[in-house]
Amino acid sequence: MSVPAQLSLVLPSFTPQDTGDWSPVIDLAVAADRAGVDRVVVSEHVAFGENLEAYADPSLGGQRDGRQPTGPDGPWLDPLVTLSYVAALTERVRLGTAILIAALRRPVVLAKTAATLDVLSRGRLDLGVGVGWQREEYDAAGLPFQDRGRLLDHTLEVCQLLWREATASYRSDELAFDRIHQAPKPVQAGGVPLWVSGTVNKRSMDRLARFGTGWVPWGDDAADIGTGIQRMRSELAARGRDGAEVQVMTRLPTVRTDAGADVRATLAPATALHRLGVTDFRIGMRVPAGRAAAQTFLEEVVGTFHDVVGR
């Protein structure tokens, strides 16, 4: 894998109860930027129904034995607005979604929003996309939950077309337009990189082979990432794509001692996992509050990570 190992973390853009104070999101983002973290990401829910137990149902796209981290009234910041705010306060850290439920947005509007953010951040945006698991979000958007896979493909088709073509025309069951112009284009060649989330199944592998720069594994394929990568690469090879070109995310579980997180032990598996094809290592260690304390801690984490992976 020619892509160097990268370190990423999730910004706390949701909370069980609204305290009115979102400064921890911004403090962590700024500290990560200054400390040398490669990527910060934010998650998304547009709205909630009350059947949160569905998150634990893999057949709906949920996580086996998963537990939704907030109740239906827990606030979630919009990811693209949040990343726009973060972009203005940072210089180098990449900005990602994990994941954006892209099909809930009109494709032409998402293409414009993402291109604008990419331009203003000087080419730092990554869009992690997936179908989600909650029927009620699609109901609230007036979209059929059972068609969410095709709706996502349609959204990505239109976005990439508008990002890449000076004059775009399109035909599908959902939409038709001729000689449409949209500018500015994203700074990044070919458009904003798309990280496709999902298990190794026909629809998600079709999507990854066609649109994906990176893969966000889910379910059993995330739990056994080595086997998941093998399965993903086999599926992509059958579709004429070299899976070794696809970047891959995994989470590093925090190793704890009586004194707190053991940074080196937490990061130690990255060397072997990078050889298997993982490129993005997401940490979940508790970071001290406040920009200065967070930066000091993350500088230690980044330095240890570079030492472990040989950067």
pLDDT digits (tens, 9 = 90+) for 181-204: 999 999 999 999 999 999 999 999
Arithmetic mean of pLDDT, 265-280: 97
Is pLDDT at 282 greater than 70 in this prediction?
Answer: yes
Q: How far apart are CA 132 and CA 130, in angstroms?
A: 6
DSSP H stretches of helix in the chain: 23-35, 79-89, 107-120, 135-141, 148-164, 202-211, 220-223, 225-238, 263-267, 270-276, 291-309
The token pair that represents 221 in the structure block: 């394929």
Is pLDDT at 51 greater than 60 in this prediction?
Answer: yes
pLDDT at position 1, please?
47
Contact yes or no for 191/158 (Cβ under 8 A): no
The token pair that represents 157 in the structure block: 């088709």
Q: How confident is the model at residue 61 (pLDDT cuts 50, 70, 90)?
A: confident
Q: pTM of the entire structure?
A: 0.95
Three-state SS annotation for 59-75: HHCCCCCCCCCCCCCCC
Question: What are the pLDDT digits (tens) for 87-106?
Answer: 999 999 999 999 999 999 99
Q: How far apart are CA 154 and CA 103, in angstroms?
A: 8
Question: What are the pLDDT digits (tens) for 162-186?
Answer: 999 999 999 998 899 999 999 999 9
181-220 b/e (C-beta count within 10 Å ≥ 16 → b): ebeebbbbeebbbbbbbbbbeeebbbbbbebbbbbbbbbe
Q: How far apart are CA 130 and CA 127, in angstroms?
A: 10
Exposed (0-12), middle (13-18) or buried (19+): which is 78, by Cβ within 10 Å?
middle
Domain ranges in the chain? 6-309
- Range name among 22-36, 49-63, 97-111, 176-190 with the lowest pLDDT average: 49-63
Q: How far apart are CA 167 and CA 164, in angstroms?
A: 9
- CATH architecture of the region 6-309: Alpha-Beta Barrel (3.20)
Cis peptide before 283 (omega within 30 of 0): no
> Would you list the DSSP string of 216-236?
EE-THHHHTHHHHHHHHHHHH
**Strand pairing report for 176-180 and 125-129:** unpaired
